[in-house]
Amino acid sequence: MNDYITIIGGGLAGTEAAYQIAKKGIKVKLYEMKPKKYSPAHSNKNLAEIVCSNSFKSNLLTNACGLLKEELRRLDSLLIKIADETSVPAGQALAVDREKFAERVTNYIENNELIEIINEEVGEDISIKDIAKEGIAIIATGPLTSEPLAKEIQEITGQDKLYFYDAAAPIVTKESIDFNIAFFGNRYEQEKKKDETEAEWKKRLENQDASYINLPMSKEEYEKFYNELINAEIVTLHDFEKKEIFEGCMPIEIMAKRGEDTLRFGPLKPVGFDDPRTAKRPYALVQLRQDDKEGTIYNIVGFQTNLKFGEQKRVFRLIPGLENAEFIKYGVMHRNTYINSTVLLDETYNLKENRNIFFAGQITGVEGYVESISSGMVVALNAVAKYENTEKVTFSKETVIGALAKYVSTKNKEFQPMNANFGILPELNEKIKDKKLRYQKMADRSLEKIKV
Ligand SMILES: Cc1cc2nc3c(=O)[nH]c(=O)nc-3n(C[C@H](O)[C@H](O)[C@H](O)COP(=O)(O)OP(=O)(O)OC[C@H]3O[C@@H](n4cnc5c(N)ncnc54)[C@H](O)[C@@H]3O)c2cc1C
């Protein structure tokens, strides 16, 4: 038996696991294929790269992802700590400066003398089967696990279904946005109050501390944009279109094709805004969220897409305020690799057929940055328990971290990747109608169960 634990993949789950294991005084060998090889969505040589939106979602305890973050804070998550330290303004959400975030995680891991980073791809010359013969291995290679390893995973799990597809949103520079049209404002805080005069309202807007840039659209502008969007050319990716698409990360053009008003009830909903130029609610509204600490680049919220790059430029520039937008990153469609954890794993993310192997991160079917970090935490504690021959560490299903682990390891024929949400936690003993109050009680119940 090796005197170290092997982790494959230095993304969000892998780096959290490495930190937690080293914290217990155990050595870690961390395989990361970058910078020798990059997935289609990774481009930064650092570990813990954030590939799409820079948002870790809400910080409120009445939001399941907010509660999950708080649980992780209490469990001393390195990545949530660094996310807090590198946060950028985003209202009630936790959004990070992706460069600073990855840089700081990398420094932390590189400077830990118990962690050895090996920049090699597993699945080519190095086999996961060989690694797991000699000791404990954690596979945390994410949604874009390289092909040779994906093949090996298929062999060790005996499963043929490993993939489906989802998409990422484009990013534009702030200086290229037309602020004669665009305005800063957070939903609901920006509306003109009934008892406010127009002058009072405008003064309040000038002094507000808002995180989002908003682009209001009239009916005519929306219709023009909509018609171009549904007819725009998409990237032809062999049999991509036939594959399953995850509802939570649906390309904007596919959502649009569901009906002319679908976007106006989704990412382009104008609710909670009055256009400062007209003092009226716009017909539709596009939001941009700050993407770096300095506030120089912004992502277009909900605009994950599979349009050809030229088409993205042409169609998204029809949005008022983006006529001259400079795109520093275009949206992409990407593969999402995950195993059928519901039959393969137990609730410590341990492979039932080979107890030396754990899976962590998006590959287990948890969906999202924070969810991936949370599985990295659970796996690390259990890899340590296995290494030390002590009892497994499980979390109450009344916590989000425990509920997610339970969800992905429970039989389910309709299994699809799962975000943190209150629907996977057990109901309270008492019936509470008010949703906010109910979630607050669920959050209180959870945090009581998290032992520090
Ligand atoms: C394009 C795209 C957009 C996304 N958008 C969002 C979003 O907006 N919000 C959100 O919450 N989640 C999003 N996700 C999901 C997101 O990837 C995950 O939530 C999170 O990054 C998963 O963490 P992870 O640790 O499992 O994998 P990753 O963070 O991807 O880390 C995996 C690491 O393994 C390495 N690796 C892969 N194969 C091998 C190999 N064979 N040998 C060695 N190293 C290997 C990779 O280089 C990478 O560094 C998106 C994913 C993609 C691909």
Q: Which amino acid is at 56?
A: F
User: How confident is the model over 418-434, as a mean pLDDT?
Assistant: 89
Give the predicted TM-score (pTM) of the model: 0.77
Q: Percent of the chain, pLDDT > 70?
A: 95
User: How confident is the model over 405-433, as a mean pLDDT?
Assistant: 87
Which pLDDT score, from 0 to 100, does residue 240 have? 40
Mutate-to-test residue for ligand 1 from 304, 359, 362, highest number of ligand atoms within 8 A of CB: 362
More confident residue, 192 or 181: 181
User: How confident is the model over 439-445, as a mean pLDDT?
Assistant: 96
CA of 355 to the centre of ligand 1 (A): 24
Which pLDDT score, from 0 to 100, does residue 239 have? 47
What would the pLDDT profile of 43-72 be if each residue is shown by its tens digit? Answer: 899 999 998 789 999 999 999 999 999 999
Band (pLDDT 50/70/90 cuts) for residue 208 is confident
Q: Which atom of ligand 1 is nearest to the CA of 12?
A: 25
Which pLDDT score, from 0 to 100, does residue 201 have? 86
SS (H, E, C) the chain: CCCEEEEECCCHHHHHHHHHHHHCCCEEEEECCCCCCCCCCCCCCCCCCCCCCCEEEECCCCCHHHHHHHHHHHCCCHHHHHHHHCEECCCCEEEECHHHHHHHHHHHHHCCCCEEEECCCECCCECHHHHHHHCCEEECCCCCCCHHHHHHHHHHHCCCCCEEEEECCCEEEHHHCCCCCCEECCCCCCCCCCCCCHHHHHHHHHHCCCCEEEEEECHHHHHHHHHHHHHCCECCCCCHHHCCECHHHCCHHHHHCCCCCCHHHCCCCCCCCCECCCCECCCEEEEEEECCCCCCEEEECCCCCCECHHHHHHHHCCCCCCCCCCEEECCCEEEEECCCHHHHECCCCEECCCCCEEECCHHHCECCHHHHHHHHHHHHHHHHHHHCCCCCCCCCCCCHHHHHHHHHCCCCCCCCCECCCHHHCCCCCCCCCCHHHHHHHHHHHHHHHCCC
What would the pLDDT profile of 228-261 be if each residue is shown by its tens digit? Answer: 999 999 886 544 444 556 566 788 999 999 999 9
Which pLDDT score, from 0 to 100, does residue 292 have? 73
Which pLDDT score, from 0 to 100, does residue 423 have? 83
Q: Which of 112-116, 170-174, 185-189, 341-345 is predicted most confidently?
A: 112-116
CA of 235 to the centre of ligand 1 (A): 22
User: How confident is the model over 416-425, as a mean pLDDT?
Assistant: 85
Which pLDDT score, from 0 to 100, does residue 243 have? 54
What would the pLDDT profile of 334-368 be if each residue is shown by its tens digit? Answer: 778 899 999 999 999 999 999 999 999 999 999 89
List the chain domain ranges.
Answer: 4-162+338-449, 171-335
Q: Percent of the chain, pLDDT > 90?
A: 73
Write the residue with the smallest CA distance to atom 35 of ligand 1: 9
Q: Which residues contact ligand 1 via a Cβ below 6 A?
A: 8-14, 31-34, 39, 41-42, 51-53, 121-123, 140-146, 149, 168, 332, 334, 361-363, 368-369, 372
CA of 119 to the centre of ligand 1 (A): 16
CA of 214 to the centre of ligand 1 (A): 29
For the domain made up of 4-162+338-449, the CATH class stated in words is: alpha beta
User: How confident is the model over 274-285, as a mean pLDDT?
Assistant: 92
Topology adopted by domain 171-335: Elongation Factor Tu (Ef-tu); domain 3 (2.40.30)
Which pLDDT score, from 0 to 100, does residue 241 have? 41
Q: Which atom of ligand 1 is nearest to the CA of 148?
A: 41
CA of 436 to the centre of ligand 1 (A): 32
CA of 371 to the centre of ligand 1 (A): 12
What would the pLDDT profile of 17-26 be if each residue is shown by its tens digit? Answer: 999 999 999 9
Q: Rounded mean pLDDT of the chain? A: 91
User: How confident is the model over 287-300, as a mean pLDDT?
Assistant: 85
